[in-house]
A and B are shown apart, each in its own frame.
Chain A
Amino acid sequence: MPRAFEDRPAALWPVLAAGAIVLAAALGAAHYMEIHGHVVTGMGHEVVWGLPHVFAIFLIVAASGALNVASVGSVFGEKAYKPHAPLSALLAVAMLAGGLMVLVLDLGRPERLVVAATHYNFRSVFAWNMILYNGFFALVAAYLWVSLERRFAGWTGPVGTAAFAWRIVLTTGTGSIFGFLVARPGYASGVIAPLFIALSLAWGLAAFLLAQAALGFAGAAPLPEAFRLRLRRLLGVFVAAAAWLMAIYHATNLYWAKQSAFERFILVDGAPYPFLFWAGFGIVGTGIPLLLAFHPRFAGPRSTLVAAGAVVAGAFAQLYVFIVGGQAFPLEIFPGYAVSSAFGDGAVAAYAPSLPEFLLGLGGLALAALLAVVGARAFDVLPAATGAAGD
């Protein structure tokens, strides 16, 4: 397996510099937020998690999905997938690191990370997730190791299976961060965990396809045609599964009278969320990828990349609706009463993301990209150009 930038080493530096500039801007933004407090963000007492969390949760959820290719190769024994497994694992680690960086730097007290690492409340889904994130790092790093070291070739099956099982639990944990919030109509739902698993499968595969194409610049061979067509179809299946679970999530909410006001807000009149949901998640994130994945007219490699890009764009729209919209809808503390107060009771919360928040989120993407590029340069993760993989 070749390494990235092997045949054009000079091209590595501008790529690293570009990533480093974005990362530095993100660190600067985080420092600015820490000095002045979160008053310089758009977040407040109602929308307590904003744009940084959209980026972070996208990266964390997509990270587990980026492992799809490795999982199909190692767990289900599909030979075509195996040569691409190391890149898939590298992306998973890189994206999780990027997502966690954003989450940590958005904390009110990021310097207390050591407190978070030494004080565990085992009733907290967040605390479970800290264990799940670290376990994911360890298992995927082990997987990468046994994949790249010929001596350990026999271990890829068991380690890959363990990583696959762990990633399912990890995404369940990420979904449960929201699913266990009993008081909020947008979140208290058992469907959220499986929904997040389906979303992660689609987002992760889309991220893999985009990263693989981007690494073409660094010397990665294009995906063998037959293999690409399989991934194209698989992407379509994952997108359909996510859309189906999303439909169940909203249908169950609509069934309960007490949730109908929230559903009306998200789906009909709570601008800008209905537009983002229908146009962003519905058309861009679901309709277009399904068309490109299954219609024979769009079987070319460019269409597959557009489908992957549309899935990622839809993911951001969906997460914005889910995270920000879910908090913007007022809590119903006094059912049966119209309420008002100087603390935003009864009112839809406004949220306008600020530049530092956006830069911080972008920094998560930059860190993931940098780690992927450095990893692809340092380890033999790119599949050989012979194309044997797809046959």
Chain B
Amino acid sequence: MSAPSPGRRGFLGAAAGLAGAAIAPGVFLTEYAVAKAPGAPASKAVRWGLLVDATRCASGCDACVKACNTEHGLPEPKRPTDVQWIRKVELKDLRTGAALSAPVMCQHCAEPPCVDVCPTGASFKRADGIVMVDRHTCIGCRYCMMACPYKARSFVHEPVTGQKTDTPRGKGCVESCNLCVHRVDAGGTPACVESCASAGHHALVFGDLNDPDSEISKRIRAVATTQLRADLRTDNGVRYRGI
């Protein structure tokens, strides 16, 4: 192979310079942009969380479930195989007989078993703590459903119709509550939280667990709360009061 001619060398140098100039702004953008900007990555400075106040949650009310179904284009569940991202659970204390009601959804664990077991990495946790499923790499093995301690995941058993733009779905994939990530990224709150407030119960509080001044942080400092199956040490982003 012959040595590059001076002209060719000059061209290569100029090309490298141009390429560097073209890439540099992108590099700097990625490094310095704040997470709140559209298209920017989730920030690990934030830990999104949810407080479920079972003392305020009304038995028989399913406003949160309906809002979730509407927001994500999920059909009204009629059969046991229909998907449910959030469900109302009726509880009765075995010793005292006290009755409670509370919604259960993905607990957005800091140590999510579903993410550990997923063979392809389709189940993943964002830097801000939101646990999601990448519908392009989910192969539908359901190992995450075996691993989830909270029965929070649903497998899509049938062809999907009426999809929403913000919630891509597909038969043969696993899905679960994503804390309405499209709303959160736009500065909003999850649909279930909004609907609970509209129904006048205010049993759901959403916010940044890392921000000591957020409403959720203030509430969990003021009242005793717990994480479901705290013995498993999955460090859930969803906390419960009254259970």
Q: Which residues of A contact B (CB under 8 A)?
A: 34, 36-39, 44-46, 48-49, 107-110, 112-113, 115-116, 119-121, 123-127, 130, 177, 180-184, 187, 327, 331-345
Contacts and interface: CB of A to CB of B under 8 A. Distances in A.
A183 B232 contact: yes
A173 B121 CA distance: 18
Contact of A182 (B115, B149, B157, B174): B149
Q: Could you say which of A120, A124, A336 has the most chain B C-beta atoms within 10 Å of its C-beta?
A: A124
Q: Could you say which of A112, A177, A181, A340 has the most chain B C-beta atoms within 10 Å of its C-beta?
A: A112
7 contacts: A37-B158, A119-B119, A121-B118, A127-B120, A130-B119, A337-B93, A345-B151
Interface in B33-76: none
A183 B236 CA distance: 14
A119 B142 contact: no
A12 B149 CA distance: 51
Given A108-B140, A108-B173, A341 B146 contact: no
A180 B148 CA distance: 12
Contact of A37 (B91, B121, B159): B159
Interface in B195-221: none
A337 B155 CA distance: 27
Contacts of B90: 339-341
A180 B117 contact: yes
Contacts of B174: 108
Contacts, number: 173
Contact of A181 (B95, B100, B142, B147): B147
B120 A120 contact: yes
Contacts of A126: 117-119, 141, 143
B172 A108 contact: yes
Given A334-B91, A345-B89, A115 B120 contact: yes
Nearest to B170: A109
Nearest to A336: B94
Interface string B97-135: 000100010000000010111111110000000000000
A335 B243 CA distance: 10
A121 B138 contact: no
B119 A116 contact: yes
A331 B153 CA distance: 13
A45 B81 contact: yes
Contacts of A331: 149-151
B140 A123 contact: no
Contacts of A115: 120, 136-137, 139
Contacts of A36: 158-159
A127 B119 contact: yes
Contacts of A39: 79, 81, 157-158
Contacts of B88: 341-342
Interface residues of B, number: 56
Contact of B146 (A109, A184, A333): A184
A338 B149 contact: no
Given A38-B155, A327-B146, A343-B84, A124 B92 contact: no
A333 B228 contact: yes
A359 B52 CA distance: 45
A45 B145 contact: yes
B157 A124 contact: no
Contacts of B145: 45, 48
A112 B174 CA distance: 14
B241 interface: no
A315 B53 CA distance: 47
Given A37-B159, A182-B113, A334-B243, 5 more contacts: A108-B172, A109-B170, A332-B229, A336-B95, A341-B89
Nearest to B231: A335
A124 B143 contact: yes
Given A45-B80, A108-B140, A126-B143, A339 B89 contact: yes
B164 to A, nearest CB: 20
Contacts of A107: 139-141, 172
B156 interface: yes
A38 B141 CA distance: 12
Nearest to A118: B120
B77 interface: yes
Nearest to B173: A108
B94 A338 contact: yes
Q: Could you say which of A187, A331, A332 has the most chain B C-beta atoms within 10 Å of its C-beta?
A: A331
